[in-house]
Amino acid sequence: MNYRHAFHAGNFADVFKHALLTRILLYLNRKDAHYRVIDTHAGEGAYDLSRDEAARTGEWREGIGRLATLPRNSDAGRLLRPWLDIVGACDGEGRPLLYPGSPLIAQKLARKGDRLVFCEKHPDAFAALKARVARDRRVKALDLDGWTALGAFVPPPERRGLVLVDPPFEAKDEFSTMARSFAAAFAKWSTGIYALWYPVKDTAAAQDLWTAVGASRAKSALRLELAVAATAGLTRTGLIVVNPPFVLEGEARTLLPALAHLLERTPGAGAALIDSFGG
């Protein structure tokens, strides 16, 4: 339990993940029927980027800090606008006053009858999360291991919704744990949307996860990856969306190339991968 996302909040991987999360939630809002969001590794919920953790790494500067130059009237700008509205005002350096994590994004977009379950095991992060959502009756914040939560809360009573799986990837077996836990949850609830985030430091491990999703008998899935450099370290990130909204692949084909260009660390280093089956 050493991982603290506060050091990495607002980086390029967060921009990628949160922009796509917003598009999925907006799609769920198209229908009147209520839904449930289950966030298995929720973190603190939101992050003050002026805090020491974020200041020490400065990762936000090559993530959300780059979005200030995005033309808002471009096709990508229009797709990003709902998420950027949630991010809110930024200072002169492009730093938001408060960077919203996935729980805050879900809170902002969920409607009165929708329900949200946020799980976090790190004691300090959970305390911050619980305090942040305490007054929202739609939300349950639980001091619970994310992998336990993934098996415990599906299928939800609403029978509609999204499971976001976003572990810290500190453990060596995190990819295999994700594949195994997803398969068990999917066997119980095959109609929900699952969003599985991962870092691409080991391309074979990422490919194995995609193969495991295919073996789950899911009827459709979308694999999205964004690279900002070809160097070592975390420079590529991915999201597998099982049962993706039918509009998401088209939106990704607009968003990802624009983000790759905006977030690349050297000219020409940005790249996007879009793969799918079914649909």
Write the DSSP string, 195-238.
EEEEE-S-HHHHHHHHHHHHHTT-S-EEEEEEES-SSSSS-EEE
Order of strands across the sheet that contains 271-277: 139-142, 115-119, 36-39, 161-165, 193-199, 236-242, 221-227, 271-277
Q: Which residues are catalytic?
A: 166
Residue 1: the pLDDT is: 45
Write the CB contacts of 20 (distance below 8 Å, at least 6 apart in sequence). 195, 224, 239, 241, 248, 252, 255
Whether residue 74 contacts residue 259, with contact meaning beta carbons closer than 8 Å, is answered with: no
174/172 Cα distance (integer angstroms): 6
Stated as kind and residue range, the H or E segment containing 19 is helix 12-28
198/238 Cα distance (integer angstroms): 5
67/94 Cα distance (integer angstroms): 8
Task: Look up the pTM and report it.
Answer: 0.96
CATH 3.40.50.150 fits 5-277, yes or no: yes
DSSP 269: -
List b or e across 102-131, with b for residues whose CB sees 16 or more CB atoms inside 10 angstroms: bbbbbbebbeeebbbbbbbbbeebbebbbe
Binned average pLDDT, 10 residues per bin, the chain of 279 residues: 76 97 98 98 94 88 91 93 94 90 98 97 95 96 94 94 94 94 96 97 94 95 96 91 98 97 94 93
- Strands 46-47 and 99-100, bridge-based pairing: antiparallel
